[in-house]
Structure formats: structure tokens, C-alpha cells
Amino acid sequence: MSESTLITLNESDVSVNPAEVKTTCAYCGVGCGFVVSEGAKKEDARELQADKDHPANKGRFCVKGSSQLDTIGLDNRLLYPRVDGRQVSWDEALDETARRLRDTIAEHGPDSVAFYVSGQLLTEDYYVANKLMKGFIGSANIDTNSRLCMSTAVAAHKRVLGSDSVPGCYEDLESADLIVITGSNMAWTHPVVYQRIMAAKAARPHMKLVVIDPRKTVTAESADLHLQLKPGTDAFLFDGLFAHLVRTAALDIEFIEQCTKGFNDVAGNSLKRSPSGRVVAERCGLPEKQVSEFFHLFAATEKTVTVFSQGINQSANGVEKASAILHCHLATGRIGKPGASPFSITGQPNAMGGREVGGLANQLAAHMDLENAQHRDIVQGFWGSVHIAQRPGLKAVDLFEAIHNGKVKFVWIMATNPVVSLPDAGRVSEALKKCECVVVSDCVADTDTLRLAHIKLPAAGWGEKDGTVTNSERCISRQRAFLPLPADVKPDWWIICRIAERLGFGKQFAYQMPADIFIEHAKLSAFKNDGSRDFDIGGLASLSHQDYNELGPTYWPIRAGQSTGSTRLFADGKFFTDDGRARFVETGLQGPVIENTLQFPLILNTGRIRDQWHTMTRTGRSAKLQQHRTEVFAEFHPEDLKKYGIQNDQLVSLISPLGRCVMRASVNAGQSPGAVFAPIHWNDCFTSAGRIDSLIPAVCDPVSGQPAFKQTAVKAEALLSEWQALLISRERLSLPANHYWNYRLLDGLHVYNIEGKEHFDLAHIKRQLTDENYKIAELTDSDSNSARVIAYNKKTVFAGLFVWPGSESGNTHKPDENWLLSEFRTQSAENKFIPVRMLALGRAVHGNVEGALICTCHQVREAAIQSAISNGCCSVETIGQCTRAGTQCGSCVPELRKLIQTAGLATQQLPFSADSQVAPDNFMQEESVC
Amino acid sequence: MNRSRPHLLIVGNGMATNRLLTQLQLLAPDSFRITVIGQEKVPAYNRILLTPWLNGEISTEELRLQDTEWYTRQEINMHLGDGAAGIDVKEKKLRCESGREFDWDLLVLATGSQALIPPVPGHDLEGVMCLRTQNDAAVLRRRCSGGRVKSEIAVVGGGVLGLEAACAINAMGLPVTVIHRDGWLMNRQLDKEAGEQLADAIRARGIKVYTGVNCTKFIASKKMPSVLRGVELLPLDNSAPDTLPQQLPCHTAVLAIGIKPEISLAKAAGLTCERAIVVDEWMRTSAENIFALGECCQINREMFGLVAPVYQQADVLASLLADGKWQRANPAQCCYKTKTLATRLKVAGLDVYSVGLIPDNISRSLIWRDRSQGHYRRMWLHNNQVVAAVAMGDTDGVSEYASLIDQHTQCSDPISLLLGGQLPADQQPGRKTSGRDVAA
């Protein structure tokens, strides 16, 4: 069986690698379409272009997506199965995994095992994982990292709309007259959607943009109105808005009467709760004027879209916040209409696909509910399963808690890194250390989670896997393979089905290709549906393998007989509740659940940065993407830096009752005083103590079980260091303990920035270099905080270590990192090298430090832009003309604007006039670059 | 010949004198009647080039400082091969060994120095010699050629001169051993590590090097009691090799343990002398109209062994004489100023550089070691000012250091100074000195 499947796999491999492959991005939920083309000649590099025909991006690109080919190399890939540290054959690995799974179930029952899966999986992988656990192992202990980003939106959708359906689509963002963005730094996290909004705004300048965020993010900077509210007070604001709509009768009475239920109670309570704009303003810490401006704008603008994301979802009362948003749209009848909808945008490429197959522990399949006996019968009948799960399983946080207390003894983690991404991450790694059997399937060789795995299964990565994903606007796209499977690597669906076989379910998992799975998924969605359920892709149930291979972007629902899906839902006012009416759900009113204390006076907010994705396992491999923010950091308001005696660029400890992180303090006047921001990406593979989630308590929304990543009480302490060091090596080296370090992989160069107080143990590094039989040249200084070590041989300079005293950033002893890197690169490229002595010097003898990299696409640094500005470039597009900065992906346009404004040259109307030129033409030229 | 011109009598025909003559010819042609008295028969030569001349690296012509016609053109009366025996300050008369007498209006003593001879039994044997004059070099050359090739030559003294000599002899394919009293070679210019690395580099050429070893006796041949047969060795400290033989058989021993100023003439004449003839910053001795310069003089206790300060002295004296105001208490024009000078070992393929005085207790020192290439660099600083530096194997850019020491330049980034040979742009000192400073 596995033999035959292998063969079909190889055949399908042969069928891939045509000259041009249409696929989708592996990163955020925007779900952009890409075209990957072979170079003209075989030796030419592949080219990645944005797909002009894909409805999500229409030829647009962001920097993460456009750098994706940098991440497909085979270094740091998991290429062979390993059991208890031994490399083994697939048969052995599968037998062993199945045995341990079977034995655990036999001894402790189905609920003693669990899968923890991921929005990175393709729908087909997701479908079989869910089917195996819920339909055949008979437990619902399968949850997904979508729990961390989308489960709140899911819960709110189901409570208010009756089904987990996103009513609108991206086009609504272009046709709206008012866009409210709350809890999203879209310019960095969903850059292409942001570009579409900016382009539309430039084309229709009367379009208004309101951004609600406790930080002045780059997104907020392009808003007409930025409500910089107190962290966690969004619910106050939207309940206040709802009350305002009621008070001013800015309502769609007809819609409310015919299509909804429960309005009067909620309206009454809301009026009592939020008697006036002034009260709301006080609660949110906002000027009353701003609040009423927002309320009037919303009330007066028919075509309004409210975009919400993690800032809403990742909080202890997220469902309430999301519900409040939905209420405002129900009350005004602005749902599922062109340019008028609430819009939850998802974090991951296939969070939606996961929701569709029922990948969450409290879902069943095809948007059917576990608690619903009728649904269980439908699914069980369809699957022909013996015992189907009867009750919801453990949600992510509870799941790992159950592993910690020994209730769950076997866990299979697929394509995700919970030791980094879950709250109280320290406890998560404890739990996995205690767990009897941890199986991890992943495409990379080293993650904080893999380090704790007993069984490692090499899974296919982006470019190798083949299947479908669904993006934030319910658009199903094919993600296609353009690379052969390397070594022993297999797709996740194949691995799962082989295990199912070994558990005795071969018949029900006898798929030959992803297409077989998708078609079954489509059939199930239509099975006994008849319009009773939102998720119905019956229209795709009869695809042939070829149709599937050629399937273009398709919106759901697409019911049997329909040739195209619907881009919008609920325009007809029919909802998927028993009575077809949407619900106003009384929620009570909670403010922020986490409050700061005397001991932990700061509120920690976490989020993404522009050029990194999740835990950096892939973006960490692209040199280009390491340059926007080179080091793990925490952003403070200037007042807080003063208050806690921290210098900008100094190392700080962020401390919560759960743990401690060490990061580079960075001043940002856009922070609210009392609030500190830290990125979610860095982890033990990249820095000494940067796993921010190890500070965050496992406080979850009571309904959705989604953790509150956005608010944690912490304190900050400055760290005094005596010295700093830079280590550049052609191989990864081990570092002496007890120092801060930050790691980057830049074109095969391993770069470490190290800093500390206690004496730096040079011998620890030199030992490794001499082991490699390199010659050592070194500078020793009677000042023990100053040293140079260069390891080289006839052919190459292998490594350079630079230690200098002091910790301030503008230190005169500091070597010029950019210069050093280019010297190392030149050497490997042209085998040319300056004398070892000059290299040890660490900078060109008349040094040149070009400053921070602003435009990653065209590698334009701040110095170049500054000089352009001082040469009279006073707008984003003129800078683009003379430096090319900002003319490709546009991600850095907000930073460019900031540079102009700080240079004091910005004109009043610049923020939008700039985009009006930049947006359209630079998107046009995109296929010509990258 | 116009007799009214003052008669300038110069004793000694070395490099100092030559520089003085050329300068005078530039500044005050025809204003003096000039006579030069030289002990050696040969015309003036460049002493620094004696070792390369020894092993034939350069020709005799290249060794000359001037061709003979030049002296005739300048109407300079050269009295060579007849050293000065005595001077009468009152009578302004000088007597040569031949008895020949000269009078003067102005007398310049440029008598240079002699090699130190250790007070060791047998130092007068045939085969024990120094390497000071062209004649010495010629003699050594003769002893190195002919039949004796097999047997050993000893060089006593591991300073610059000794090492240059040893390398020259080695280059002629002869077995040579360097015997050095102190713990490491060039101990006055180098730190221990550099000195030892230098010894390794020299041994690598096939030269034996004994450090921490004293030469206690020159042993006479049994058959020919006036002829050298070997030297007796005595270990002084633990830097001496355990396998040190008691005797080193050799037919020639070259003494290079140092120099002493030649001041007998001045002393006899009653001029104020200490270790050398005392002169002021204008090269004036205690006696009116008598001047001294070069290795035979001292200024504020400073003595001279390198050519650069000697040339400066010649320039100072030349302009003093040209101005004719040498009798004033404080002549207006430039006077001698002491400068930090670097020492370089002039041996092909053996780059050694040293500048400044290596302090005993320093606030900071940095070392660059690139052993596989035989590179070594060290710098000593005090209060962020460079006080000394040495470099071996690779001396790129080190010529900057001397001026930094002179100017007490504040150096906040000694690493770029040590490795790059220069300060970062923002710390560049205004003036730079360059040109090679060489041992004379």
C-alpha cells in the first residue's frame, strides 16, 4: 500500500515542475497568488512573481512573500525520519508511531492521545488529520494553532451569525467609504490588503480610514483618525458605538425586525451601560471629541467595513469585543453588502481551511458542530466511522495543560511550534518534557519544539506540497508544488494516512492524491446540506483530477450546480440559525481583564513585525528579511524609558510572574505611556531569552479559549553590560552561557551579536575553531573587554570574533558589521580577501556605516534616503525616483513618510498625495522586479 | 684661491661630515675654505650599507657617498689616511699622526665612534674583529672566502648590527652563530616575545642563536698562539639552551656589542666631555669656534647612533655657519630638536620595526599575533597616548607611530592604530613624518 502510494507520489512529482506554476503564499491569511517560473535555462534561478489574475492580490506583493524563494533551500531541513534520536526508514518510523499511538489508546483510552495541528497545513492534510482523530480514534483532542488567532472570530461569528462565515470580501475594502481597522497593524501584518486600501483611498480620496490601536503603528499613521485607546478597552468603544447608534436612531429598523433577534434587550442594556460619548471616552482614555467624531462617521457612512484581527481576537474577552463589532453592523444592516460588512482577517494561510474541515477541538467537520447529534450522525454516516467523538476535545491551552498533568500521554504536533507560540511557553516545554510520546512533523530540522520530540517526521514544505488553502475572504486556491520531494520528505496527508492504515483504517484513508481528499471534503460539505449550512462546496464535488489540478481561485459557498461561488453572504438577510435570524447576544460589559500593578507596572502588547513570520523557521532563512529589524527588541514610550532609567538601545529584562525575557530597548513615541510592545517571533533558536510567550499567562477567552496575547502585566529592568561582541562564522557555533545573544543567518553566514557583564570566555569559541583546524590570528588587549579572533586557512576565512568594551550603540570601538559581511561575502564569492589584520580591524580604514535598512526590496539604507531628502526629495515618490526605495512592495512607504516628516519637509496633504502617486504605478511594475 | 675666506677644518670623513658638506654647498657656496681630515684612506662611504656590501649585495660604487670629482668641484681639500693626533685650542692648530699641521678659523669634530671591545682575555687575537669600517668589512670578506668555509664564524652581540652581520655572513653560505648576552635578541628595541620570535626567524635561516650567553674568553690556537680558535661560552640565565657547548670553535669572531663615542682628541684638547663631547642645540662645544656633531657628541645627555638625528645636526650646523652668527648667545635660526625615532632591522625578508621606549609599567598594551604568518605587533599606551610599538613580519603603516609618540596624540581607538597603522579619519594627526629611519 505505502509502496503504491509512493509510486503515485513520484508520478505526481514528475507531473509538477512545468515552466510556470501558479500557487499561493505560505504566510498570512490574505492568501496572495504567486507565479513561480523556471529560469530560461536550467541553471537559471527560479523567479517568483505576484499573480495578476489572483483576486486576493491582483499582482501585488509584500516583502515576505516576494522573498519566499530564499527560504526553500535544503539547509536546516528535516530530511529523514528519526525515532529517539536514530535515523530510521519510513516503515520503521510509521510502525513505531502507530504502535505508541495504539498502545496509549488501548491502555488509557482515546482521550489520552491528541493532535496539535496548524493553519500552515493544507486543507487536505487538515481534513485527514481531523477525520482520523474525530472519526476513527474517536476523540476530539485535535486542536490547532488557529485557536491562537481565529477561534474568537469563529465563536463570535457562530453566536451572532449562526455560522462561522466571513460575510464580505476584499473588494468591499475598495468600495467602502469608511474603513475601521481595529486590532491590526495591517501595513505590516497583511501588507497587500493594506496596499489595496491605500490604492483605493488614493483613487477615492473621500474614503475615510479610522484606526483603533493603543499603538501609533505605521497603519495608524496613514489613518484620517487614530483612536489610541487604553489597551483592552475596545469593548467599551464598540458598546458605546452601539449605544450611540441606538440613541441617534442610526439604525436599519427593517433589517433588525426581519432578520435579527434580541435587539431590544441588548440595546436597552447598552444604553444603560454607555450613557454618553463622554463616559466611553473616559473609559477608553480618549479625547471625547475623537470618540464622537468616530461615532458620527460610523453612523453617517452607509458603506462601512470594520476590519478586526488579533488585537480583538487575542484578548480575555475577545468574543465579546468581536460580538460588539458584529452588533454594530447588524444594527445598521451593513452586512454582506458591497462595501459594507464586518471583516475578520485571519493570521494564517489556511486558518479558514482548517475551520472548514473542523480542525478545532469544538468543531466536527464542514462547519458542523460536535454538540449537534444530527450533525454527528451526518458525518459518521458519511465517513462510515465506528465510533465518532461525542463531545468537544481539549482546546490548545487546556490540551497542553492536560499533557502537563499526564492526562494526555501521546501528542502529535504538525507544522507548528507551540513551545514558542503558546502562552506560558515555559510550562508548555515542561509539559512536552514530561510527555510519554511527542511526535512532531515539520519541514525544518530545528525548532524549540522539535528539540523535545521523540519521533520526528520529515514533512513537505512550501513549494513541495500540493493541495488547497482558503484565505480570509472565503476564496479557495490551489497551492501547487514546483519542487520534487527531497530525500525522505513526505506530504502531511500521506503521513497521516499511513498511520491510519496501521491503525486498521486503510479502507477509509485509501487516498491516492490530494484531489481524492478534496473531493471527499466537497461531498461531505454538500451531504444532507440543502442550504441548511453555510459551508457548501458541492459545486466542486465532481471535479476530475485534472479539473482539480487546474482549479482557479474559487469562493465558497459554491453549491452543487453552481459554476461560481458567492463573494458575499447574508445579503439576503438569511442567517444559518434555526430561525434564519441573526442574534444580538447580551454579553455584559467587561473592561480590560489584565490590569497593571505596582510590582508589574507596564502592560505588554505583542505582535508581528513587517519582515518576519511567526517563529522565523522560514523567514529566518532569508538574509533580506533579517535587515528590517535585526535584533529582538521591546518598544517603550520615551517617558517610560526615563521613568525606569533605561537608555534607548540598552538591553532590558522584561519580567512577568511567569518568566523573564532579554531584549533591546527601543524608543517609540507611538507607544502609549505605560505600554510596552514586543514581537512574537524570536525564540531559543534565534536569541538567548526572547520567547515573549513565556511571560504571558494562559488567560483565555471563556467562550473561544483563545489566549490573551495582547495584554500582560510586566516590569522592565535595564541590564548593564560591560562589553559587546560580534561573531561571524561560516558554521553555527555554540556560545558561552550567561550572555545575551541574538542570531541571524545571512546568505550562509551565521551572525551573532553578543553582550554581557561577566567576562566573555574567548576560549569557548577558540576551541571550536581550532577543532576545525583553522589557523587563529588574534588581538589580545590588557583591557579584557576588548579582543579580536580571526580563524582562517589557505582557502577561506572561516570566522571572526570582535569584542569591544561598553554597551552604548554609537560606540567608537564598534566594528562595521555591514562592511565585515560584505568582506566575508566577497571572499566566498571571488575568493578575494584583504589581509587578515585589516579584517580584524573590523571596518574599512575610513569607515562607512550606512545606517538601518529601510527598503528591503531594493536594499536602500537610511543614509541614502536621508541624503535624497536633503537633496530636496520631499515626497515618497520623489524618493522612489532617486533611490528606488518604496517602489516595489511599498512596505516601507510609511517609514519613508516618517523620515520625510522628521526631516520637516512634509507638506500638509502629503500622507495621501504620496500614496496617490506611489500606490498605482509601483504595483504595476512589480512583476518586473524581485 | 681667495685666502680671505675663513678656513673650516673638519675632522672625520663619515656620514655626518658628508651631510655637512653638501648642506654648506647649498646654503653657503664658496664662503669657506674647507679641509677634511680622514683617518681612513677610502673616500666617504655609507656605513649603513657595509653589510650588504660585505656579501656583495651592492657594489663599491654604490657604497660611495660622493664621487671624487665632486670634492674637486667644491674645492674641498681632502686629507685622507692620516688621522688627527692633537689640537691646540689657543693656537687654533691641529696636528696629524704624520706630523702635518693645519690651522683653522672654525673647527668641526665629526670623529664618530668606535666599536666596544669587551675586556675579555684574547680579544686581541687575530680573528677577533669588529665591523665598523669599510676596511673591517673587507677583512671579514677575505676571512669568509677561501678555504675556511667549513668552520664556524661567531658574532658576539645580537643587536641590529650583529644580526645584520650574521645574516650577511649566512647569505654568503657560511656557518654562523650569534652569541647574545641578554635574554632575547634586540632587547633594547623589542619585547621578549618579539625578540624570541625574531630568534626563531633567524634560526630558520640556518643561523645558530644563543641568548643569555656570555662570551668569557677568546681561545688561541695551540699551533699559532696569536690566532683565534674558538670562544668560551658561559650561560647567564635560563634563556640559554641546555645543550650549550662550553666552547664554540670558530676562526672569526665579529664583535657587535655596541659603540663608544670617539672623544680622545676633544678630551686631550680640554673640551668639556661627559660620555661624549658636550655641545648645545647649535652643535657648539665649550670652546669658541669649535663644533662637534654625530656619534661623538651629546646634547642634553642624549647620544646618537642613528643617522637621522646626525643629519639634522649637520643641517643645523650648516645653516649656523652659513648665517655666520655662531658667536651669538642665541642664534636666531633653527636648532637641534630631539625626535622619536624608529629602528628597523635591514635584512631582506626579515621585517622588524621598533619605536619608542618600552615602559616597565604601562596602563595598556595590545598585541596582534598571526603566528602562522610569523606576524607580531604590539603597542604600549599610557593615558591613551602611544609610548612604544614593535612590529615583526608585517610592518605596513607602522611609520605613523613615531610622529604619534612625538605629538602625544590622544588615541581613543588603539585597535585601528595597531591593526590599520592609522587612526580613524576623525583622529588623524595634522602632520605626519615618513621616510625610513635607519641605524648608523
Instruction: Note the CATH number of domain B342-439.
Output: 3.30.390.30
**CB spacing of A846 vs B362 below 8 angstroms:** no
pLDDT value of residue B421: 64
Q: What is the pLDDT of residue A636?
A: 97
* Concatenated DSSP letters of A405-424: TTS--EEEEES--HHHHSSS
B384 at A interface, C-beta within 8 A:
no
Cα-Cα-Cα-Cα torsion A736, A738, A739, A743, nearest 10 degrees, comes to 70
Which of A60-74, A456-470, A843-857, B388-402 is modeled with the greatest confidence? A456-470
pLDDT above 60 for B2: no
Is the minimum CB–CB distance between B193 and chain A shorter than 8 Å? no
Nearest in space to B336 (alpha carbons), one of B351, B350, B320, B322: B320
- For position A849, what pLDDT does the model report? 36
Distance CA B215, CA A708 (A): 86
How many Å lie between the alpha carbon of A868 and the closest alpha carbon of chain B?
A: 25
Shortest CB distance from B419 goes to which of A775, A779, A846? A779
Tell me whether residues A780 and B394 touch, CB distance under 8 A. Answer: no
All residues of chain A having their beta carbon less than 8 Å from the beta carbon of residue B418 are 779
Contact (Cβ atoms closer than 8 angstroms) between residue B286 and residue B271: yes
Residue A919 reports pLDDT greater than 80: no
**Pairwise CB contact (< 8 Å): A775 & B372:** yes
Q: Which residues of A touch B (CB under 8 A)?
A: 775-783, 786, 788, 812-813, 835-838, 840-843, 845-847
A864–chain B nearest CA distance, Å: 21
Render pLDDT for A562-621 as a digit per residue (tens, 0 to 9): 999 999 999 899 999 999 999 999 987 777 777 889 999 999 999 999 899 888 888 888
Query: What cell numbers appear for A238 in the block?
Result: 464598540
**Per-residue pLDDT at A38:** 86
Least confident range from A906-915, B223-232, B251-260: namely A906-915
Of A533 and B238, more confident: A533
State the pLDDT confidence band at A907, using cuts at 50, 70 and 90: very low
Q: How far, in Å, CA of B146 to CA of B144, rounded?
A: 7
Contact A793, A800 (CB under 8 A): no
Q: Report chain A residues whose CB lies below 8 A from the CB of B424.
A: 812, 845-847
Q: Which residues of A touch B364 (CB under 8 A)?
A: 781-783
A254 pLDDT more than 50: yes
Q: Which of B419, B422, B423, B427 to mutate to test the interface with A (most CBs of A within 10 A)?
A: B419
- How far apart are the C-alpha atoms of B349 and B71, rounded to whole Å? 37
Q: What is the mean pLDDT of chain A?
A: 90
Q: Do the two domains B7-114+259-323 and B342-439 of this chain adopt the same fold?
A: no
Confidence of residue A859 (pLDDT cuts 50, 70, 90): low
pLDDT digits (tens, 9 = 90+) for B403-438: 889 888 888 888 888 997 655 444 444 333 333 333
Of A779, A846, A847, which is closest to B415 when you measure between CB atoms?
Answer: A779
Which are the contacts of B212, defined by CB distance < 8 A and separation ≥ 6?
B180, B181, B182, B183, B235, B236, B237, B238, B239, B240
Q: Are B355 and B388 in contact (CB under 8 A)?
A: yes
Q: What one-letter code names the amino acid at B35?
A: T
Per-residue pLDDT tens for B70-99?
Answer: 999 989 999 999 999 999 999 999 999 999
- The structural domains of chain B, with segments of one domain joined by +, span 7-114+259-323, 128-255, 342-439
Highest mean pLDDT among A3-17, A870-884, B98-112: B98-112
Cβ contact, residue pair A777, B375, below 8 Å: yes
Cα of first residue to Cα of last residue in chain A, in angstroms, is 43
Q: What is the mean pLDDT of residues B151-171?
A: 93
Chain B residue numbers touching A780 (CB-CB < 8 A)? 366-367, 369
Nearest to A64 by CA among A430, A348, A356: A348
The pLDDT-based confidence of A883 (bands split at 50, 70, 90) is confident
Residues of chain A with Cβ-Cβ distance to B367 below 8 Å are 779-781
Q: What's the mean pLDDT in B271-292? A: 96
Confidence class of residue A895 from pLDDT cuts 50, 70 and 90?
Answer: confident
CB < 8 Å to B420, chain A: 838, 841, 845
Distance of residue B359 Cα from the nearest chain A Cα, in angstroms: 14
Residue B426 C-alpha, separation from nearest chain A C-alpha, in angstroms: 9
**Residues of A with Cβ-Cβ distance to B359 under 8 angstroms:** none
Tell me which architecture the domain covering B7-114+259-323 has in CATH.
3-Layer(bba) Sandwich (3.50)
pLDDT band at B440 (very low <50, low <70, confident <90, very high): very low
Between CA A422 and CA A429 the distance in angstroms is: 10
Which helix H or strand E contains A913, and what residues bound it?
Answer: helix A910-924
Least confident of A51-65, A786-800, B209-223, B327-341: B327-341
CATH dotted code for B128-255: 3.50.50.60
pTM, rounded to two decimals: 0.83
* Element at A382 (helix H, strand E): helix A373-383
Q: Higher pLDDT residue, A900 or A199?
A: A199
Predicted pLDDT at A404: 97
| Per-residue pLDDT at A525 exceeds 90 | yes
Is there a contact between A781 and B413 if contact means CB atoms under 8 Å apart? no
Grid cell of A496 as nine digits: 497521516
Q: B161 to chain A, minimum CA–CA distance in Å?
A: 30
DSSP letters, A152-165, are: HHHHHHHHHHSS--
Q: Where on the phi/psi map is residue B368: left (φ > 0), alpha (ψ -120 to 50), or beta?
A: beta
State the pairing for strand pair A437-442/A455-458. Answer: parallel
Å between A859 CA and nearest CA of chain B? 27
How does residue A76 score in pLDDT terms, banded at 50, 70 and 90? confident
How far, CA to CA in Å, does B289 sit from each of A510, B90, B101?
119, 11, 18
Asked if A777 and B371 come within 8 Å (Cβ–Cβ), the reply is: yes
Judged by a CB distance cut-off of 8 A, whether residue B348 touches chain A is: no
Report how far residue A870's alpha carbon sits from residue A884's, in angstroms, rounded to the nearest whole number: 16
CB neighbours of residue A17 within 10 Å: 14
**Beta strand pairing status for A675-679 and B7-11?**
unpaired
The verdict on whether omega for the bond into residue A601 sits within 30 degrees of 0, i.e. cis, is no
What Rg do the C-alpha atoms of chain B give, in angstroms? 23
Nearest-CB residue to B419 (from A776, A838, A847): A838
Chain A residues whose CB is inside 8 A of the B398 CB are none
Report which of residues A144 and A813 the model is more confident about.
A144
Q: Are A841 and B366 inside 8 Å of each other by CB? A: no
The confidence band for B144, taking pLDDT boundaries of 50, 70 and 90, is confident
Count how many pairs of residues, chain A against chain B, have C-beta atoms within 8 Å. Answer: 71
Residue A917 has pLDDT above 90, yes or no: no
Q: Does B359 touch chain A (CB under 8 A)?
A: no
